[in-house]
Chain A
C-alpha cells in the first residue's frame, strides 16, 4: 500500500473510525493492528524483520537499564543487532564491490556476494529511530519503555514507516502514553495537511516526473538544454516528492491525534547552505547532529575536528541515502558547501549583504536562487543512475550549446508521451496549467511557512492554509482537490499505478 493512493485513504478512514470508536485504553492496540496490517499489505516478506527489530531494541532497552558494568557491551551488541539488517540489505553489495575492487588492484579476484537485495520497507527510517532510542537509553537521556505495545506502535506507526519523519521516542512516548480524544478540528487540520502533501506529490512531483524520469533514464537521447531542464526540475520534484510525503504522513498522524515532527520548513527560501540544512529533511539532520556529530566531538574539539565531523556527517548522510559512490559524492559536495559556507560566511555576507533575514527582497531572492542552484548541482550525483552518467551531464552541459526551441520541443514531447494524438491539445493545456497552478499555490504556502520560520526558527509546526480567509481557502481546497484528482488519474493511466516516493527507495 502506498500513502498517495485511494486505497490508503480508505485504510486511514477505517482505522480512524475503529480508533475513535474503541475505548481510549485500546487505542494503541488498534494502532498496532493497523501498523501490522499496513506493513503486511505493503511488504509482507519483511514483516518479521521489523517485528524482530522492534522486539530486540525493546528488550535491549530494558537490559541497558540494568546492565551494570556490561552496559557498553550490551549497547554495542544492540547496535550490531539493530543495524545488522540495514547493513546487510543495503550495504553488503556496495562494500563487497569495494573489497573486490581493492583486491583487483593487486590482481586478486574474489567472488563477492551479489548486491541485488530488495530493501525492506522503511528499514532506513525505523532503524535510525530504534538506534536513537537505544542511544538515548544508554546515555540515560530517556527511560527504557516497559510497554511493548506502546513501543511497537512508535517504531512501526504506519503513516511514517515508509519515509519518516524519523521520530524521537521521548516525544512519541508522551503522545502514545496519553489519551487521544476525538477532536474534529485536529482531524480537519490533518486532512488539510494531507491535501497539501497530495498537491505537492501527486501534481508537482509526479507531474514533473513525467519529464524528468525519461531524461535521466536515457541521457544520450536528449540535448544539453533538456538535460539541464531535467536537472533543474529534479530539484523541484525531489522537494515536492519528499515534502509531499512528509505532509501526508504528518497529516495522517494528526487525524489520529499524533503530532509528528516537521521535516521541511520551506528550504529553498534559505539564505545559505547552513540554513538550508536546518530546513531540509530536518528529522534526519537532527538525528545525525544528535547521534553522530555531537558524540564525535561536534565543534568542541577545535576547528579542524569540527569540519571533519561535518564531513563525516555528510558522508554518512550520503551513504544513508544509498549504497553507491554517487551518494557519497553528493554528501561530500554538501559537506564542502557547509564547511566553505562556515569558513567564508563573513565574505558571503559581504558578497550578499542583504541575504540575511533583514535583507531586501532582491538580495534575498538572489540568495535563495544561489542555494537552489548549489543544492541542485549536487543533485546531479544524487539522481544520475551512475557515476559515468553524472560525468556525462557535466560534460554535455559544458560542451553543447543550449537551443531553446529544441528544449521546448523535447520537453513538450516528453510531457505528452503516451497520450493519444486526438486529445493531446487538451492534455497539454491541463497538464501545464495544472502544474503551474500547483506551483503557484505551493510557492504561496512556502512563503507563509518561510515567514513563520523566520519569525521563530524553533517553531514546531506551521499550517499555511489555516489562516487564509474562509472563501479563498475553500476555493483553494477545491482547486487543489480537482488538480490532485486529475493528476492522480493521469498517473494511474500513464504509469499504470500511482508513483512511489523517491525517499521510499532509500
Chain B
C-alpha cells in the first residue's frame, strides 16, 4: 500500500507542479497574492476582488470609467473604491456586475458610469454570467483552457524579460499595460513617436460599430434594468450616482447629433435623474470642446483623468459638471 501510494504521488507530481505554476503565472491574480490588480482591467479579476475583499464602494462602467485611478480617488476622498469597470463593457454587463457585487458584499456606494455607446443597442454581451462560476469556484477557473494559455503566455513574457535583463537587451522587455496610468496622451506609432488620434477618424470608428441607419437607440429595456438597480439601492440604503463622462465635441457633432442619439441621451438622463443622483459631464462646454483634453473622442488624456476624478469625487464647483442630486429633478441640458 505504501509503495503504491508513493508511486501515485510521484505520478501526480507533474500535474501538481503544473497547477502551482498555473496559479503563479495566471494573469488574473485569482487569490489576490500578487498585488498587481492595477494592471487588471478584467472583470474576472475584479469579481474575485469583490469575493475576497468585500468592498463597500464600487465603480462601474466601461473604459471611460476604468481609466479612473482608484488610488488617486482614495487620495482625494480618503475612501477606498473598487473598480469594477472594464474596457468594452456593455451597460448590461455593468448591471450584471452590480448584482454580483450586491450578492457578495455589503454595498454602501455605487458610482455607475453610463454613456450612449455602451448603453445603446442590445443590453448585454453575456460575458458576466459565464464568469460567475469561474469567480466563485477555483476548479471552474482552472478548467478554462484560455486561462492556461494566458498563464503560459505570461510565463513566457516573464522568462523573456528575465533573459533580457541577464543579457542586457532592455528592448526585449515588455510590461503589461496599466489602464490607469496618466501618461496616455496619444498613440505611439511604430517608431515610438506619439501622435494624436484623428477625432474624425475616431467618430467614423464609432459609427462603424453603431451603424448609420438610425437603428441605434437606448432601449427601454436598458433603462428599466437600471431602474431595478436604483430601486434595490434605495431599498437597501445604498448611495448610487450615475455619471455621464465627458465626450469630445466632435462626437456630438459627427455621431450623436446627426444620427438622433442626442434625443435618446436626453431621455436617458431624464429617466435616471428622476430616480437617482446624476453627475452629467457629457455636454458641450469649454472642457469638452478642447481637443487637448482628450486622448480620443471618448477617453480623457493625461492629467485630465485626474480632473475627471476630482469633478466626480469632490465637491469642487465647476462649469464642467451638472450634479442633479437625489433624483426628482427635471433634466434641462
Contacts and interface: CB of A to CB of B under 8 A. Distances in A.
B1 interface: yes
B3 A492 contact: no
B interface secondary structure, majority: helix
B318 interface: no
B53 to A, nearest CB: 28
Interface string B75-118: 00000000000000000000000000000000000000000000
Contacts of B149: 419-420, 423, 426-427, 430
A426 B152 contact: yes
A413 interface: no
Contacts of B7: 188
Contacts of B294: none
B146 interface: yes
Interface in B14-31: 14-15, 18
Contacts of A187: 4
A489 interface: yes
A489 B145 contact: yes
Interface string B142-174: 111110111011001000000000000000000
Nearest to A429: B152
A482 B146 contact: no
A54 B150 CA distance: 51
Interface residues of A, number: 22
A147 interface: no
A426 B145 contact: no
Given A426-B152, A426-B156, A485-B18, A420 B145 contact: no
Contacts, number: 56
Interface residues of B, number: 22
Contacts of B4: 184, 187-188
Contacts of B145: 419, 427, 486, 489-490, 492-494
B4 to A, nearest CB: 4
B14 A478 contact: yes
A88 interface: no
A474 B13 CA distance: 11
Interface in B126-154: 142-146, 148-150, 152-153
Nearest to B142: A489
Given A184-B4, A188-B7, A423 B14 contact: no
18 contacts: A184-B4, A422-B153, A423-B146, A423-B149, A426-B149, A426-B152, A430-B152, A474-B10, A477-B11, A485-B15, A486-B148, A489-B143, A489-B145, A492-B143, A492-B144, A493-B144, A493-B146, A494-B145
Interface of B: 1, 3-4, 7, 10-15, 18, 142-146, 148-150, 152-153, 156
Given A482-B15, A493-B144, 14 more contacts: A184-B3, A419-B149, A422-B150, A423-B149, A423-B153, A426-B156, A430-B149, A430-B152, A478-B13, A481-B14, A481-B15, A482-B18, A492-B143, A493-B143
